[in-house]
Structure 1
Amino acid sequence: MQEKARIQTMVGEDLLFLTDDQLRRGIEAMFFAYRAFTADPDMILGEMDYGRAHHRALHFINREPGLTVTALLAVLGVTKQSLNRVLRTLIEDGLVESRIGRRDRRERQLHLTQQGTALERRLSEAQRARMRAAYRKAGPQAVSGFRQVLEAMMDPETRAQYQAMKELPEDR
């Protein structure tokens, strides 16, 4: 029997029953939300002949200056060849610097230049504004629930990477 989401409370546990149609609507909401979330950065990136991979690289390098290429590979979950194309462009365009590691000279540590920091800020400003407005509209309980849903969707390795990123200082 198809019905709206029904919460059934049993002794000590809460069970949530969702129909296939409700799950499909949730999936569609994620698709449309992601499209809206990436629309502003996509316009800026398109003007520069960059793609979303460039934005993700800039974001995570900004989040953790000195991030190694190996660590960035792990965070992004892309191939070395794909990341090298993105980094080569960002370095050639003066947005990212690749420095030799202090402890291990074989490591390449990544840092944004002033120009890279300015572009990352420009790309992220609209996304922060969109998230801020949505969070305010939805309220604190919804924000907490949203994060819980996103974290529950992550596989254990991805969740561990995310948890490690949460431990970094917030403002850069």
Structure 2
Amino acid sequence: MADSSTQGGETLLFLTDEQLRKGIEAMFFAYRGFTADPDRILDKHGYGRAHHRAIHFINREPGLTVTTLLSVLGVTKQSLNRVLRTLIDDGLVESRVGRKDKRARHLHLTPTGEALERELSGAQRERMRGAYRTAGPQAVAGFRQVLEAMMDPEMRRHYQMLKDDS
């Protein structure tokens, strides 16, 4: 039997196009807010969101290979190489040769990179912490379920691997 739970009088299984449009717009505006603080910090350093994403995942998994980062970010090799070259040249990231496979490049944040990552993620954690407190634990769990359900299968696998590490 289908779940016919309602929220605010709206049946969740039978959303109208208007209700979906409101959700899409809420996601756009929330994303703008979520990225606004890091964007200001990145701009001061001459970096963009691609640099932020690379720094985030390198911090999340020190020693991450370039190949894995390519897969996680879903960008071209050329695009990632430009970002990594800047981060390495600016002393934020180190690329180390693999011990087992000399062809593999393992990425690590330097202390300067770690400081920038803390500043960037700190701003986002504060925004999320406030939103989560306002919404409450059930809404937080539901929000995460919605986000996971929206992920493409390949991205969900990456997310699950990261989630399982914590």
Could you say which residue in structure 2 is the equivalent of 1:4? none
The one-letter amino acid paired with 2:56 is H
1:19 aligns with 2:16: yes
User: CA offset at residue 168 of structure 1?
Assistant: 1.7
Could you say which residue in structure 1 is the equivalent of 2:7? none
Structural RMSD (CA): 0.7
1:97 aligns with 2:86: no
User: In structure 1, what is the Cα distance between the partners aligned to 2:72 and 2:152?
Assistant: 13
User: CA offset at residue 156 of structure 1?
Assistant: 1.1
TM-score under structure 2 length normalisation? 0.93
User: CA offset at residue 122 of structure 1?
Assistant: 0.3
User: In structure 2, what is the Cα distance between the partners aligned to 1:89 and 1:95?
Assistant: 9
User: CA offset at residue 103 of structure 1?
Assistant: 1.0
User: In structure 2, what is the Cα distance between the partners aligned to 1:17 and 1:95?
Assistant: 48
User: In structure 2, what is the Cα distance between the partners aligned to 1:168 and 1:87?
Assistant: 24
User: CA offset at residue 56 of structure 1?
Assistant: 0.3
The one-letter amino acid paired with 1:85 is R
User: CA offset at residue 53 of structure 1?
Assistant: 0.3
User: CA offset at residue 167 of structure 1?
Assistant: 1.5
User: CA offset at residue 33 of structure 1?
Assistant: 0.2
The one-letter amino acid paired with 1:159 is R
More helix by share: 2
TM-score under structure 1 length normalisation? 0.90
The one-letter amino acid paired with 2:85 is R
1:107 aligns with 2:104: yes
The percent of aligned pairs where both chains have the same amino acid is 77
Q: Which runs of 5+ in 2 are unaligned?
A: 5-12
**Number of residue pairs matched by the alignment:** 158
* 3-state SS of paired residue (2:3): strand
User: In structure 1, what is the Cα distance between the partners aligned to 2:110 and 2:30?
Assistant: 31
Match of 1:62 among 59, 62, 70: 59
User: In structure 2, what is the Cα distance between the partners aligned to 1:101 and 1:125?
Assistant: 31
Runs of 4+ in 1 over 4 A off after TM superposition: none
Could you say which residue in structure 1 is the equivalent of 2:73? 76
Q: Is the 8 A contact 1:64 1:168 kept in 2?
A: no
Listed one character per residue, the Cα deviations across residues 44-78 of structure 1 (whole Å, up to 9, x for unaligned) are: 11111110000000000000000000000000000
Q: Is the 8 A contact 1:59 1:120 kept in 2?
A: yes
* 3-state SS of paired residue (2:106): strand
User: CA offset at residue 157 of structure 1?
Assistant: 1.0
